[in-house]
Structure 1
Amino acid sequence: MGAFVNVKGIAAPIPLANVNTDVIAPKELMRAVTRKGLGWGLFRPYRFEADGTPKPDFVLNRAPWNAAKIMVAYENFGCGSSREHAAWALADFGIECVIALSYAEIFNNNCIKNRILPVVLERDGVEAVMASAQACEEVEVDLPSQSVRLQDGRTFGFNISPLLKHRLLNGIDDVADTLAFEADILAFEERHLAELPWLRKSL
């Protein structure tokens, strides 16, 4: 996956709590077996009528939010089922960062695996970002400094584990991170087999 360092632009405001994955990636998307082409289904129950007609009042159907790379919502974003399609749909639409009060744990992990930065801010920070988003003011999210900056100069810090930060900044996933220790793993295997040679016969 590509590296995540910084993203800046208009954020899409979703002033809702408990937005579940059935809304973010409805069941129609579950037929897909690839990560590409799923942006059409993002928030489909909110974005489209039953006949497929776009709902003009939904934020993702309106400029400039229809080109947003950042999304802001309230608590428990991504709750519900564990479908990774929710992260796939966000990424395919162009969302690189979500800012919220909290996330469902599996959704949070799925975001990281798909190069989407899930930022957690306190209530005052989320409310400030939400207001900026609704006013079409730019928001900047910087991973190296772990900060969210608003157009008026206000800055809000966020926490992220060093391991996840390392993976995002370097564009590596769990497998690539493990393979960085390939030489150590192979050396351990050789030592282990030397100590227990009878294991070679069972391999």
Structure 2
Amino acid sequence: MPKSVTGLAAPLPLANVDTDVIMPKRFLITITREGLAEGTFADLRFDEAGNIRPEFVLNKAPWKNASILIVGDNFGCGSSREHAVWGMGQMGLTAAIGTGFAGIFYDNARKNGLVLPIVTPEARDAMLDLAAAGDGLEISIDIENRNIIAGEMSVPFEMDDATQASIIRGGDDTLDSLEHAEAIRAFEAKLGDKMRVSVLK
């Protein structure tokens, strides 16, 4: 699995972007994970008639090809819908850099390989300025060493050890459980023996 993520960065400085903004509820009717790219940021990308909003950053060159977002405070707040993370991934977004993320959204991102580096407000604002200027800013996120290279900037970021390991190896809760399969089977067998003894008594 990747130890780093590199891509064009788009500035999205809006604060408190909740999961209903990321994935409006009308797109939650699907019973699979497919086809969610269309719904991602739908109300920011399109007007009520379905026309493209040319002022939205991901509809403008060069950021329409962005794979990394630099986001405002408290990104991913609101409901626990995992569809928000699925849609971002299907849209080609691999990371979002911010000062902090809602807890459930952060955990959903970990499970699905969306990288969420946490930086200081000063570093985030500097990267926002760089990303908004010129022909686009390519950013490289070194997950293994917890560092971001943005132009001439070298920015350390926060990421807990479990999240870092999960993203690098591509793990999720199912894989975590399978790694302990032998111990789980041993526990179940032991529990079964105790239950049989209890019944016999």
Structure 2, unpaired ranges of 5+: none
d(CA) in 1 for partners of 2:49, 2:191: 62
Task: Pick from 34, 56, 60 the counterpart of residue 58 of structure 2.
Answer: 60
State the match for 1:150 in structure 2: 150
Task: Pick from 90, 94, 97 the counterpart of residue 96 of structure 1.
Answer: 94
Rate the CA distance shift 1:77–1:200 in 2: closer, same or farther, 3 A: farther
Residue identity matched to 1:162? D
Is 1:169 aligned with 2:168? yes
Query: TM-score if structure 2 supplies the norm length?
Result: 0.92
Is 1:181 aligned with 2:180? yes
Residue identity matched to 2:145? S
Rate the CA distance shift 1:150–1:183 in 2: closer, same or farther, 3 A: same
Q: Deviations over 1:118-173 (max 9, x none)?
A: 11111111012211211212111110111111111x21112222222111111111
Residue identity matched to 1:73? V
- Root-mean-square deviation (Å): 1.7
d(CA) in 2 for partners of 1:199, 1:25: 51
**Match runs of 1:15-164 below 5 Å:** 15-135=13-133, 136-152=136-152, 154-164=153-163
SS in 2 for 1:103: coil
Please tell me whether the aligned partners of residues 111 and 166 of structure 2 are also in contact (alpha carbons under 8 angstroms): no
SS in 1 for 2:116: strand
Distance apart, 1:99 and its partner CA: 0.6
Residue identity matched to 1:112? R
Query: TM-score if structure 1 supplies the norm length?
Result: 0.91
Residue identity matched to 1:90? M
Distance apart, 1:91 and its partner CA: 0.7
After the TM superposition, which parts of structure 1 deviate over 4 Å for at least 4 consecutive aligned residues? none
d(CA) in 1 for partners of 2:190, 2:181: 14
SS in 1 for 2:28: helix
